[in-house]
């Protein structure tokens, strides 16, 4: 078996996992909006949970910076640094997801209280953020698996699509937080 065939086989081995994660994550997040918030959260824990939206925005902002640093590293030929930065970006995305789920399991969704153009702008940014955050999951996973499988020609092709979308999702995550943060019940 040639190296190319072995790499392609390794890539195909991850396909069911990529599909499963890509379907399961949006389903779990969507389910959160239909579940009632957990009642009886102790006050000390509630204070900590109320800080999670800001923490999530910080994680998104950090992810954006790391993605840019990863791009700069690979453009400079620093492959090991690039690999570490991109792995860190994935870990930050997982941390974001865990934190996001923890917050929304224990808290009701906050509605934007603005009106007119500002609310319309918020909803457009939020909608694009949500839709692209669903799309980015399989893109990131496929891009990462192609790098792990040493299929760098295919990795580069999909990374050119993945990076701008991932960067957009990270940046709009911060923007969405900034636009809705005045309406969180604990900020009023």
SS3 for 120-162, per residue?
HHHHHHHHHHHHHHHHHHHHHHHHHHHHHCCCHHHHHHHHHHH
Tens-digit pLDDT profile for residues 88-143: 999 999 999 999 988 888 888 888 999 999 999 999 999 999 999 999 999 999 99
CB 132 within 8 A of CB 169: yes
| Interval 161-186 mean pLDDT | 95
Domain ranges of the chain: 41-187
Separation between Cα atoms, residue 66 and residue 120, nearest integer Å: 30
Reading the block at residue 3, the tokens are 């190296």
Contacts of 102 (CB under 8 A, 6+ apart): 49, 52
Reduce the DSSP state of residue 115 to 3 states and report it: coil
| Phi, psi angle pair for 41, to nearest 5° | -70, 125
Distance CA 127, CA 107 (A): 21
| H or E, element range at 21 | helix 3-32
> What does pTM read for this prediction?
0.86
Q: pLDDT digit string (tens) for 11-38?
A: 788 888 899 999 988 888 888 777 766 6
Q: What is the CATH number of domain 41-187?
A: 1.20.120.80
The mean pLDDT value for 52-62 works out to 97
């Amino acid at each position: 078996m040639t190296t190319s065939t072995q790499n392609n086989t390794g890539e195909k081995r991850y396909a069911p996992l990529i599909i499963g994660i890509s379907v399961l994550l949006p389903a779990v997040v969507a389910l959160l909006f239909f579940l009632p918030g957990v009642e009886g959260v102790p006050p000390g824990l509630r204070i900590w949970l109320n800080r999670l939206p800001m923490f999530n925005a910080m994680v998104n902002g950090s992810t954006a910076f790391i993605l840019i640093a990863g791009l700069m590293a690979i453009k400079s030929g620093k492959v090991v640094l690039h690999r570490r930065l991109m792995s860190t970006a994935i870990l930050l995305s997982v941390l974001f997801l865990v934190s996001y789920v923890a917050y929304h399991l224990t808290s009701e969704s906050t509605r934007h209280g603005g009106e007119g153009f500002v609310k319309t702008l918020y909803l457009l940014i939020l909608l694009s953020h949500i839709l692209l955050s669903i799309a980015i999951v399989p893109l990131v996973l496929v891009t990462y698996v192609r790098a792990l499988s040493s299929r760098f020609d295919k990795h580069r092709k999909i990374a050119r699509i993945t990076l701008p979308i991932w960067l957009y999702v990270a940046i709009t995550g911060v923007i969405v937080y900034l636009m809705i943060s005045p309406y969180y019940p604990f900020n009023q």
